[in-house]
Homo-oligomer: A and B are copies of this chain.
Amino acid sequence: MRIDSITADDFKKAVSKNALVILPIGATEAHGAHLPLGTDTFQPEHIAREISERMDNVLIAPALPYGNHSSMKNVPGTISVTFDSLRSVVHDILDSLIWHGVTRILVISGHCGTSHMAAVTEACRAIVMEHDVRIMLISDYEVMRTYDPFCYDGDGHGGLAETSRMLDICPDIVNNERPRGRFVDASGMVLRDASQCMPDGVEGDTADASAVLGEEMNNYITDTVIRMIERDLK
């Protein structure tokens, strides 16, 4: 159930039965010539939906569609909020959920930049220090990288895996370009414009991307996360 589509009473009932709340953290970020700016929102929303269909009593909170960006910050279309804003708003959302009695929360972030994840982590950590609740924080992007059959060496942002997953989730807004690019290491330099690390806007070769591969990956991620929930968040 999507929280935005149910009433106050429905919410209250679900929480009284100890609902698991999933909070998708999305992003609005340049993803190459072929993928839409909402790629990092659509992916965790899809995983959240899949989980809610396979498990009982799951509530999906509205996805926060803005994250914190560094490497893509200067590329048109990336809308970045600061570390502090992201940390605060995630903190407050969790705090408000807990105020209403929620005790089990899965935060799932589509974007996986270091500072972005640190901001979300700091928010979650403050919450578990303040309240006796259980919070699991994952990035579906990170989980995807543990998928064995596929070799991710050199594949990353907007690459084969992300393109395939998006072809499974919302093929209508993936266009026909299939770019290829590489990550250029800056060896520790703190850059004013980190977009030079990804001159082609993507990392990897998207030529072989397919909805079939994407579906496998999305299923793998969903299965993995459900196992994690069943072990630690039940």
| Chain A residues within 8 Å of B, Cβ to Cβ | 2-12, 15, 26, 28, 30-38, 41-42, 61-66, 70, 74-86, 88-89, 91-93, 96-97, 99-100, 114-115, 117-119, 121-122, 124-125, 127-129, 134-138, 173, 175, 186-192, 201, 228, 231-233
Contacts and interface: CB of A to CB of B under 8 A. Distances in A.
A38 B3 contact: yes
A28 B15 contact: no
B187 A228 contact: yes
Stoichiometry, copies per complex? 6
Chief secondary structure at chain A's binding surface: mixed
Contact of A5 (B15, B125, B173, B231): B173
A36 B189 CA distance: 31
A65 B66 contact: no
Contact of A93 (B75, B79, B190): B79
A37 B117 CA distance: 28
Contacts of A124: 190
A142 B129 CA distance: 29
A62 B117 CA distance: 20
